Amino acid sequence: MHRYMIRYSKKDPARYTAHLDLIRELERSMRRAKLPVAFSEGFNPHPRMSIAAPLPVGTEGLAELAEVEMTREVEPVQMVESLNAVLPPGLKVLEVAAISSATPALMAALERADYIVRLDGEDLPAPLPNAAIQEFMTRDCVEIRRRGKDGKEKIRDIRPGIVKVEVLPAEDGLCLRMELKTGSVMNVRPAEAITALFEHAGIKVDPADLQITRTGLFLAG
């Protein structure tokens, strides 16, 4: 088997494509590109392909990661070209690299994700003071409620997962850059971190107004 890592972007309109639909879309695209994708065994064979960290619907991704196995070797440059010729609007492959079969799964190696969060002026009831951010970052503990897979609400401390928050210049409203832990060990969703931050600052914003872009995913080591 030949393993490849794919770095791709997921922008408008594809940013509204949900995770499972994206997998199906990539599967069809690979078939359109006539790539020799490897399939699992069994009655219901599915392509040996995985996405490192699913993006929430509506969130833009500038450099997402996926990995795929092929039954024979394919030139990475050629894979970039043939995929880009058949991907629907909003999806674009930026880079393909062969990875050794000994490399752990991308999903397991994932450590951090960077985000840009924008909020229009009309959606921001009060300016967010820099001091509030600094204060927020000095807290030992940021507790949030998250609904688990069993449907039960759990209280979790996400503070260890918030690596960095900084304000970027914005013409209108607010623009924040955030580094958050992501992956199987510690995973913080951007909307959770932002909501906690605004709660801390005593400013009420509607999470649905947040315009979130994931700018990069980073692997451990």
Partner 1 sequence: MDKRLEKALRRVQKPGRYTGGEWNAVYKDWPNTGVKMVFAFPDVYEVGMSHLGLQIIYHAVNSREDALLERVFAPWADMEKQMRETGLPLFSLESRRPVRDFDILGFTLQYELSFTNILNMLDLAGIPVRRDDRATGVYPLVVAGGPCAFNPEPLADFIDVFIIGEGEDAVNDLLDACLESQRGGENREQFLLRLAKIGGFYVPSLYRVEYNDRVNLEKVEPAVAEAPAVVNKRVVTNLGEAAFPTRPLVPVIEAVHNRAMLEVQRGCTRGCRFCQAGVIYRPVREKEPQTLVRQAEEIIHNTGWNEISLSSLSTSDYSRIKPLVSELTGSQTAAGVNISLPSLRVDAFSVDLAKEVQKVRRSSLTFAPEAGTQRLRDVINKGVTEDNLLEAVSAAFAGGWQAVKLYFMIGLPTETDADLEGIADLARRVLERGRRLSRSPGRIKVTVSVSSFVPKSHTPFQWEPQDNMDELKRKQAFLKQRVRGRGLVFNYHDPEGSFLEAVFSRGDRRLATVLEAAWRAGSRFDGWSEFFNFERWMTAFEATGIEPAGYAHRRFEYDEILPWDHIGAGMNKKYLVREHRRALDGEITPDCRAGKCPGCGLCPTLEIKPSLAGGETVAPLHDSLQ
82 binds partner 1 (CB under 8 A): no
Local structure of 3: helix, strand or coil:
strand
Q: Which of 17/182 has CB closer to partner 1? A: 17
Local structure of 131: helix, strand or coil:
helix
The window from 28-36, 96-104, 129-137, 176-184 that contacts partner 1 (CB under 8 A) reads 28-36
Q: Which of 19/139 has CB closer to partner 1? A: 19
What number of other Cβ atoms are within 10 A of residue 207's Cβ?
Answer: 11
Give CA 210 to chain center in angstroms.
15
Site for partner 1 in 8-27 (CB under 8 A): 12-14, 16-18, 20-21, 24-25, 27
For the bound state, the minimum distance from the C-beta of residue 204 to partner 1, rounded and expressed in Å, comes to 17
| Amino acid letter for position 205 | V
Which residues pair with residue 118 across a beta bridge?
Answer: 175, 211
Going through 26-106 in order, the beta strands assigned E by DSSP cover: 49-51, 60-70, 91-99
Q: Which of 165, 157, 159 is nearest to 115 (CA)?
A: 165
Contact string 111-150 vs partner 1 (x = CB under 8 A):
---------x------------------------------
Q: Please give the helix or strand (H or E) that residue 213 lies within, else none.
A: strand 211-219
Among 36, 81, 85, 88, binds partner 1 (CB under 8 A): 88
For the bound state, the minimum distance from the C-beta of residue 70 to partner 1, rounded and expressed in Å, comes to 15
Quote the radius of gyration of the chain (alpha carbons, Å): 19
86 binds partner 1 (CB under 8 A): yes
Residues 181 and 189 sit within 8 Å (Cβ to Cβ): no
Q: Which of 88/160 has CB closer to partner 1? A: 88
For the bound state, the minimum distance from the C-beta of residue 74 to partner 1, rounded and expressed in Å, comes to 17
Q: Which of 14/162 has CB closer to partner 1? A: 14
Question: How far, in Å, CA of 78 to CA of 56, rounded?
Answer: 30
Q: Which residues bind partner 1 (CB under 8 A)?
A: 12-14, 16-18, 20-21, 24-25, 27-32, 39, 43, 45, 57-58, 86, 88-90, 120, 208-211
